[in-house]
């Protein structure tokens, strides 16, 4: 039983990265080449948010620090990631696919935790990828670790679009 628990913990930990500072000897990917090779009909992709665009498009916590007030017209999914994180690289193409699948229904955003440390701190991001699911009304939920595409679809359909 103990070995089963240990195997489960090890496999789950391999699907997320610690957000600790340090030297990361992995290949960096830029926001521009995440989308290289797209054809014209595939230009729908996640939008990268900065601190300022987050305040305008998602939640202005400077004006509403005690209450979540979603600023968007559509529910959203926010992928907190880093260029050096291998599981984040696995989630990136899934987020691109979700942006296309839910175009006009759900906004897909990405936040680089190394560039937007204040946002990562506000959401207490300790492991990445971390994905925030925010309905138009109600409280958002957070999922940590890389999930299969079908699981992201299930969460979006059930929690954001209220469909099964």
In a domain, 64, yes or no: yes
Task: Tell me whether residue 66 is in a domain.
Answer: yes
Tell me, yes or no, whether 24 lies in a domain.
Answer: no
17, 58, 76, 85: which one is catalytic?
A: 85
Residue 2 pLDDT > 60: no
- Identify the domain containing residue 66 by its residue range: 45-160
pLDDT, tens digit (0-9, with 9 covering 90-100), for 123-164: 999 999 999 999 999 999 999 999 999 999 999 999 999 987
* Annotated catalytic residue 76: no
For residue 155, being part of any structural domain is answered with yes
Count of domains for the chain:
1
Give the pLDDT score at 42: 62
Whether residue 35 lies inside any domain: the answer is no
Query: Of 34, 76, 77, 88, which residue is the catalytic one?
Result: 88
Cβ atoms within 10 Å of 66's Cβ, excluding its own: 5
CATH number at residue 107: 3.40.30.10
Q: What is the pLDDT of residues 77-126, one digit of tens each?
A: 999 999 999 999 999 999 999 999 999 999 999 999 999 999 999 999 99
């Amino acid at each position: 039983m103990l070995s089963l628990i240990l195997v489960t913990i090890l496999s789950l930990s391999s699907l997320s990265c610690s957000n600790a500072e340090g030297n990361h000897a992995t290949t960096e990917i830029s926001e521009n080449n995440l989308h290289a090779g797209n054809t014209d009909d595939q230009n729908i992709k996640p939008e990268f948010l900065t601190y300022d665009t987050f305040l305008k498009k998602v939640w202005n916590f400077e004006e509403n620090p005690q209450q979540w007030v979603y600023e968007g017209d559509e529910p959203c999914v926010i992928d907190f990631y880093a260029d050096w994180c291998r599981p984040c690289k696995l989630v990136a193409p899934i987020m691109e696919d979700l942006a296309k699948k839910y175009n006009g229904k759900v906004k897909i955003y990405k936040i680089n935790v190394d560039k937007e440390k204040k946002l990562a701190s506000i959401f207490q991001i300790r492991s990445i990828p971390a994905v925030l699911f925010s309905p138009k009304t109600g409280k958002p939920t957070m999922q940590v670790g890389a999930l299969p595409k079908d699981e992201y679809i299930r969460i979006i359909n059930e929690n954001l679009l209220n469909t099964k």
